[in-house]
Amino acid sequence: MEEMTYKEEFIEFMVRSGVLTFGDFTTKSGRKTPYFINTGNYKTGYQASKLGQFYAACLHDNLGDQVDALFGPAYKGIPLAVSCSIALYEQYGQDVNYCFNRKEAKDHGEGGTMVGYKLQDGDRVAIIEDVITAGTAIRECLPVLQGAAKVDIRALVISVDRMEKGTGDKSAIQEVKEQYGIDAYPIVTVREIISYLHGREIDGKVYIDDEMKARMEAYLEKYGI
């Protein structure tokens, strides 16, 4: 039996964690979608540990050791950045700094909005985020990062690229690249999810049968890039 790639492992991990689900959903933007990714369903120590390993694999795959610090936007990005930095050290021997922002500035002690590593001019930073839909989170955290130091934002690492149009004809990932020059690296894309899960049993259940595949393809036909 062939060894699974980290992408294939991640897809099964999302299904088993109840994070990747199929049915009838409505997205924040009002789109009716046949699948949904709710990263708020991760809740155990095992899941946090595994999640960090998948992010670390994606980061290592695309950037090697070209990163000095991980930034986790509050709130969902915080545990992701921490678990990813642990996994980078344990799996690849890379001791990478991490930091995150507060939503509210602290008015006592040292004050400020940043917690963890103090960013320095020239630091190569990777933003660790769960998913990107409209790119709003990136627009919000760029001033925070640029206000801390003259950093070089190398990448945005996310769990899934839904490959959907944002406000115009481009995806949120393409818009982030165009507006800010930042490359985004997903652990997996929706196309990879369809390709891997179509007709495949996970613990005795097929999540993407022919009908679900047709629904997902129709959705991408309408909103995809």
Choosing from 108, 118, 165, 205, which is the catalytic residue? 108
Number of other CB atoms surrounding residue 1 within 10 Å: 3
* 135: alpha, beta or left? (left if phi > 0; alpha if psi -120 to 50): left
Encode burial over 3-28: b for 16+ CB neighbours within 10 A, e otherwise.
eeebbbbbbbbbbebebbebeeeeee
Max CA separation in the chain (angstroms):
58
| 108 in catalytic set | yes
Catalytic residue among 32, 106, 150, 222: 106
Q: Which amino acid belongs to residue 60? A: H
Looking up tokens 């917690």, which residue turns up?
A: 115
Q: Is 165 a catalytic residue?
A: no
- Spatial distance between the Cα atoms of 115 and 142, rounded to a whole number of angstroms: 16
Catalytic positions, written as ranges: 106, 108
